[in-house]
Amino acid sequence: MQHRGEILKEAIYKSGIPITELAKRMGKSRRWMYLMFENSTVSLDLVLQIGKIIHHDFSDSIKELSTSLKGNESPTAYEKEAFNAEYWKDKYLKLLEEYNLLLKQQ
């Protein structure tokens, strides 16, 4: 399986956009960005979001993305479950970061 975090890291560094700027545009922290680079199963939604910001097409380097965009193959039950789990994990982390920000403001 491809390590999506490493693929993203390489593309981001080649784009020349600073990590701080990218994190700011995504509403994330720099720390979150570096942790994402270590994650081999970054969600396809995040890959697309980052690709949009840095103007990079990841469909050539991430095979799951190219098949989901082409629609040639329907995802297996396992892929759907993995995608769904990743989605909820990312959503949880985002809410947790927002909660921590609220706590700091008090």
What is the pLDDT at residue 33?
Answer: 92
What is the pLDDT at residue 103?
Answer: 92
Mean pLDDT by runs of 10 across the 106 residues of the chain is: 86 92 92 91 88 87 68 52 70 89 90
What is the pLDDT at residue 23?
Answer: 92
Q: 13-18: long-range contacts (C-beta < 8 A, 24 or more apart)?
A: 15/54, 15/55, 15/56, 17/53, 17/54
Angle at the Cα of 105 (from 24 to 100), degrees rounded to 5? 65
